[in-house]
Amino acid sequence: MVFSSITFLLFFLPVVLTAYYMMPAAGRNIVLLAASLFFYAWGEPVYVLLMLASILMNYVFGLLIEQGRKNHMSNGRLRMHLGIITALNLALLFYFKYCNMLIGWINTIFRAKIPALSLSLPIGISFYTFQALSYVVDVYRGKVKAQRSITDFGLYISMFPQLIAGPIVRYKSIERQLANHPVDSAQVRLGLFLFVKGLSKKVLLANVLGGLFTEITALPASSLTALTAWTGAFAYSLQLYFDFSGYSDMAIGLGRLLGFSFSENFDHPYTAVSVTDFWRRWHISLGSWFREYVYIPLGGNRVSTGKHIRNLLFVWMLTGLWHGASLNFILWGLYYGIWLILEKYVFGDFLRKHRIAGRIYTLLIVLLGWMLFAITDFKELGTYLRAMFGMGAGAADHRSFAYLLSYGIVLLAGAVCSTGWPGKQLGILCQKHERVLAGILAAAFVLCLASLAYDSFNPFLYFRF
């Protein structure tokens, strides 16, 4: 189930919230766990079993590792426990997400004909596997106590707000909240605001801009002018941001409605002054996960320059791979790794001194990066990039301006909303009048519902008698 669906907005959430609020505090975790499993099973009726298996094995190993430490088990054996559970987690992730990619590679390289596995990717597996890993590693490191309640642990892994698209919540940050998460009026109101804000980002901006990008990528090379290609690139960059950060906002908002506070996942990334800065603002929970569990254990930057560069490239290759199982994602990760190394060792100082140049440079790098991200076929990618740089169907045509006329306002609105400015203005306004805020929330919500109805608006198209 996705948040931007009628099923979620008018059936699931109202029922769950009502049940949750009516339940005394002691029973709320049970309600929430049941709701979360239902939520997941709605979209993945079979893979919910996989998630239950993941919950169970991580729960057991958490306890085993802690028990082992108490019984003065040797470090080696503790590490072996950690190794087993880490391998189990990664094996599941690998099997479902990367196996077919690998089979494809082997087939290409060795001209083999291994049939691909008929698997669909279980929704959210990348997210909940990383959450589970952060838990067992932190238990091993002694940073947190193992969770004794299977309900609470199951809830940590499967809680529906962040289950499908993050943020990746670290167990450490939520340990205490799992036991005690009272809901108060201020939290609910903040939650409502964040949820509707995220929903609007997703439905009113991301979906519309996504439509534009789909239309543009479907164009034959002969119609793809430079202006059209750039419009498409801007549209996609904004779409991706609003889609993802909208989802995070909704997740954080839902968390608030349920009494939890998750940390922010996005911080106006398109206002970044360098690529390094961009990655501090984009998908923060993923970046910090890799830093905590891969980069720093490898030695981080407290090693020789050579090793540091190796660490960076390795981490960014993994980051790329995490985003999707194909070669272009790996290249996309490495692409960022290289820019980060350059910023670290070559022109970081220049960027710090020239902030405006830094902004433009960052946007450009990110924009081009997204094209590598969006277009998985290298031939098509080449065509698209050539068109962007004027080696396609010329500079502009009627179509380019037609797109700007039709989508200019949404593109502009998207650009403005990707800065912190509208939020700030809205804040000042609503600080004085909560009624205004509620009015805006209601209007935005109605508009989102209207868009969902419109998208499903499906007149009988065989109308030509």
Partner 1 sequence: MTDLKSPEKKKRKKKVRGPYPPGQGGSARADIGKSEKQAIGRAKPVKQAAGSAKTADSARIVKQTAGKNADVRTEKNGKRSVTRAGKQDVRKQKQAEKNLPLLRTPAGLFLGIWLLYALINILVPDRAVSETEKRALAAFPEVSADRIAGGEFSEDFETWASDQLVGRNALIRIRSTFGLLTGNRLSRDVYKSGDGYLIERMTGVDQKNLDQMLDAVNAFCARTQIPGTFVCAPNAVSVCGNLLPASAITEEQGTWMQYIGNRLEGPHFCDLTGPLGEFYAKGGQAYYRSDHHWTTEAAYYTLPTVRSALGLSQESASAMTPLAVCNDFVGSLAAKSGFSASKKDTIFIYRSDAEPAYIVTDPAAQTKRATVYSLDGLKSSDPYTVFLGGNTGHLNIQTDNAEGGKLLVFKDSYFNCFLPFLLGDYREIDIIDPRYYYENLDDLILTGGYDRVLFFYDLNTLAEDTSLALVLGSEQG
Instruction: Please give the positions annotated as active site.
Output: 323
Nearer to partner 1 by Cβ, of 88 and 174: the residue is 174
Residue 453: phi and psi, rounded to 5, are: -65, -40
Residue 112: phi and psi, rounded to 5, are: -85, 170
Residue type, 420: G
Nearer to partner 1 by Cβ, of 109 and 346: the residue is 346
- Assess contact for 250 and 199: CB atoms under 8 A: yes
Q: Quick check: bond before 167 cis, omega within 30?
A: yes
Residues 375, 219: Cα–Cα separation, whole Å: 13
Give min distance, CB of 168 to partner 1, in A: 15
Which tokens sit at 327? Answer: 């070669």
Torsion of Cα atoms, 51 then 52 then 56 then 62, to 10° = 40
Nearer to partner 1 by Cβ, of 142 and 420: the residue is 420
Residue owning tokens 């609003």: 242
Residue type, 464: R
Half-sphere exposure in the Cβ direction for 384 (13 Å, CA): 27
Give min distance, CB of 304 to partner 1, in A: 15
Give min distance, CB of 390 to partner 1, in A: 21
Nearer to partner 1 by Cβ, of 69 and 359: the residue is 359
Give min distance, CB of 426 to partner 1, in A: 6
Short-list 185, 155, 189, 188, CA closest to 169: 155
Give min distance, CB of 272 to partner 1, in A: 8
Give min distance, CB of 449 to partner 1, in A: 6
Nearer to partner 1 by Cβ, of 26 and 186: the residue is 186
Nearer to partner 1 by Cβ, of 143 and 352: the residue is 352
Give min distance, CB of 132 to partner 1, in A: 22
Residue 37: phi and psi, rounded to 5, are: -65, -40
- Assess contact for 62 and 136: CB atoms under 8 A: yes
Q: Is 462 helix (H, G, I), strand (E, B) or coil?
A: coil
Q: Give 334-394 as a DSSP string.
A: HHHHHHHHHIIIIIHHHHHH-HHHHHHHHHHHHHHHHHHHH---HHHHHHHHHHHTT-SS-
Nearer to partner 1 by Cβ, of 6 and 90: the residue is 6
Nearer to partner 1 by Cβ, of 153 and 403: the residue is 403
Sequence-ordered list of residues with C-beta below 8 angstroms from that of 238, at least 6 positions apart, any chain? 205, 206, 209, 411, 414, 415, 418
Give min distance, CB of 368 to partner 1, in A: 23
Residue owning tokens 């924009």: 367
Q: Where are the alpha helices (DSSP H) in 258-354?
A: 275-281, 284-290, 305-323, 327-342, 348-353
Rounded to whole angstroms, the maximal C-alpha distance in the chain is: 81
DSSP 147: P
